[in-house]
Amino acid sequence: MRDLWDGLPAGVQDVAVLALLLLPLLVTGLVVTRGFAPWPLARAILWRFRWPVLIFALLIAVAVGTGIGLIAQERALRQGTAAAADPFDLVIGAPGSEITLLLAAVFLQPSDVSLLDGAAYEAIAQARGVAFAAPLAFGDSVDGAPVVGTTAEFVTHLSGGALAEGRIWAEHGEAVVGAGLGLPLGAGIEPAHGTGPSAESDAHAGEHFTVTGRLPPTGTPWDRAVLVPVETVWEVHGLAAGHAPERAEQVGPPFDAAYFPGTPAVVVRPESLAAAYALRSQFNGEPGTMAFFPGAVLSQFYGIMGDVRAAMSLMALVSQGLVAVSVLLGLFILSRLTRRQMALLRALGAPARFVLAVVWCHGTALLAAGTVLGVALGWGAAAVLSRIIGARTEILLHTSLGWTEVHLAAAFLSLASLAALLPAAAALRAPVIEGLRA
């Protein structure tokens, strides 16, 4: 049986799990309403007490939406950060914190990291299995957008092979801008030293870049980056340009180790998957270097997020449990509001199961409305939060509903519908005379 289940497509498994979760609701509904038509009367009761019903539906929606929004947001963040790190096959830097270097190299977060010298870069660039090794240089900005010095090979790789418009630089002082910057081709821009509020706008007076190309949208912080030849960043700071004086105007590799000022990170494009693992092993073992796969570091980060999500999910479950108890009490209260109508039905000779079916349908419809509204509320909250996080991090986050959220909502609805039998049964035990006098 296990082998049969494992052999089913993932979509079929998800549909099967959904059907199993909804089975208690369907079976209860068939047993309770068999042979009767309680829905017209239940619908009339819902309309008669529409304001209390609306309040309880919103209460249910908040409880369900909390869990739905948490799961949807966590998945969007996971997918968005993974997509941002996808172009970075292997990152090599000086020994230190992998997470700090990941934030600096992949997500362009200002960080204080050590530099690799020219000998270390030369060893990386000449290592077997390296398609290209692109140094990164940080430290400046243009109107808050980070300036990143690198090589034309990395820009081509980041763009997927072709720019959205224009061309890659051909000489020092030219720049390619991200898709999120509104700088036109041919625009002249002046760099400021540093990033953020502390940037010194006059530190590089007289220096300027000319925009020659634009990257296609990547959905990453690189959409708001200004990419220039790494030699330009070094020159702006009064350092050697990475080449011997007789080749001072050269742009791009090979670099001369003696004139290489240093780089906080080297992005390596391996020739194959086997080469990637060999390079990571090689430069993790050499003194003075640290090599890692950004995806592997993100997996550790996801593990931390998973622990946080587990704690938050537990809180959401506790919240849903408390709300479920509140809803159950609310159904008892609503049943008290309708006890005169139920007593009248019983006095007119309505079967007990019909009265049970009316009360149960009334409560289940309330639960179903709150659950559906909660799914929409959770998805909407996650979408808004994704926009806020995306605006702050420049990471494109796509919020969508998955089977996990659907299963969570279905499980809540099924269990709550079973609980709705309790106030329905209580309505049958109330004395008819007291109900008519209510």
pLDDT tens per residue across all 438 residues of the chain = 666 666 667 777 778 888 888 888 888 888 888 877 778 877 877 887 778 778 888 888 887 887 788 778 777 888 888 888 888 889 998 888 888 888 888 888 888 888 888 888 898 889 899 898 999 988 777 887 888 889 989 999 988 888 888 889 888 888 898 888 888 888 888 877 666 555 555 555 567 888 888 999 888 888 888 899 988 888 887 888 888 888 878 888 888 888 888 889 899 999 988 988 999 888 886 778 888 998 888 877 776 665 556 666 666 666 666 666 766 776 676 666 566 666 566 555 566 677 777 778 888 888 888 888 988 888 888 888 878 877 776 777 777 777 878 888 888 888 888 887 877 676 666 554 554 455
Stated pTM of the model: 0.73
169: Cβ–Cβ under 8 A, 6 or more apart, which residues?
A: 152, 175, 176, 212, 213, 228, 229, 251
Could you tell me the CA-to-CA distances from 21 to 60, 70, 206 in Å, in that order? 18, 21, 68
Query: Which pLDDT belongs to residue 435?
Result: 47
Examine the domain organization and report whether 264 and 408 are in the same domain.
no
Examine the domain organization and report whether 133 and 275 are in the same domain.
yes
Looking at the DSSP bridge assignments, the partners of residue 92 are 266, 291
Q: Of the candidates 272, 308, 268, 314, which has an alpha carbon nearest to the alpha carbon of residue 291?
A: 268
How far is Cα of residue 17 from the mean position of the Cα atoms in its chain? 25
Examine the domain organization and report whether 223 and 258 are in the same domain.
yes
Neighbours of 347 (CB within 10 A): 12
Long-range contacts of 6-14 (CB under 8 A, 24+ apart): 14/403, 14/406, 14/407
Backbone angles phi, psi at 175, to 5 degrees: -140, 150
Examine the domain organization and report whether 316 and 349 are in the same domain.
yes
Last residue of one domain, picked from the residues 231, 258, 292: 292
Question: What's the full length of the chain, in residues?
Answer: 438
Examine the domain organization and report whether 255 and 109 are in the same domain.
yes
Examine the domain organization and report whether 356 and 372 are in the same domain.
yes
Query: Which pLDDT belongs to residue 436?
Result: 45
**Strand duo 226-229 + 90-93: pairing:** unpaired
Examine the domain organization and report whether 265 and 392 are in the same domain.
no
Examine the domain organization and report whether 67 and 110 are in the same domain.
no
**Which tokens in the block code for residue 221?**
């912080």
Burial of 18 per CB tally in 10 Å (0-12, 13-18, 19+): middle
| Contact status, residue 210 vs residue 169, Cβ threshold 8 Å | no
Examine the domain organization and report whether 76 and 107 are in the same domain.
no
Examine the domain organization and report whether 209 and 274 are in the same domain.
yes
Instruction: Indicate the number of domains in the chain.
Output: 2
Last residue of one domain, picked from the residues 259, 275, 292: 292
Neighbours of 395 (CB within 10 A): 22
**Which tokens in the block code for residue 162?**
């072709």
Burial of 170 per CB tally in 10 Å (0-12, 13-18, 19+): exposed
Examine the domain organization and report whether 343 and 416 are in the same domain.
yes
The C-alpha atoms of residue 12 and residue 8 are separated, in whole angstroms, by 6
Examine the domain organization and report whether 263 and 393 are in the same domain.
no
Last residue of one domain, picked from the residues 243, 264, 292: 292
- Give the ranges where 262-402 is alpha helix by DSSP (H): 273-285, 294-337, 339-347, 352-393
Range of the domain at 366: 2-83+301-437
Give residue 283's identity as a one-letter amino acid code. Answer: F
Could you tell me the CA-to-CA distances from 76 to 83, 86, 150, 379, 401 in Å, in that order? 11, 15, 30, 11, 10
